[in-house]
Amino acid sequence: MNSNVNSSGQNRTAGAVPLTTHSACDDEGIDLPHVGTMVWDTALDRLGRVMDQEPTCLYLRPPGGGTEWQARPEDVEPVSASEALSPRVAEANRRSRRGRL
């Protein structure tokens, strides 16, 4: 299966926010996503939000919260705006339901 296609057959990189170069990594030519952006960890096949970064390691957390994990920068890909939005909408809906109960 094409690694740029998610389980519902959508292209993960269509409309994706491009990765940007982190100044600490300019000499090494490594592109790192900004803290707060959503990325796809290809090694674990998981969606995560970048919480922190180092030149050789990213710290990711699931979109709805949970345990942080580490990923190598070369193992992450940007996700499309719709893929990044979907988990945020689901989390907002969960919070809303909890507030009404």
pLDDT at 88: 66
26 exposed, middle or buried (CB, 10 Å; 0-12, 13-18, 19+)?
A: exposed
Alpha helices by DSSP H, listed for the chain, are: 81-100
Read off the pLDDT of residues 2-21 as tens digits, 9 standing for 90 and up. Answer: 454 544 454 544 444 444 43
Domains of the chain (ranges plus CATH)?
20-100 (2.30.30)
Read off the pLDDT of residues 26-73 as tens digits, 9 standing for 90 and up. Answer: 335 567 899 999 999 999 989 999 999 998 999 999 988 899 999 999
Overall pTM surpassing 0.85 (yes/no): no
pLDDT at 9: 53
Q: How many CB atoms lie within 10 A of CB 70?
A: 13
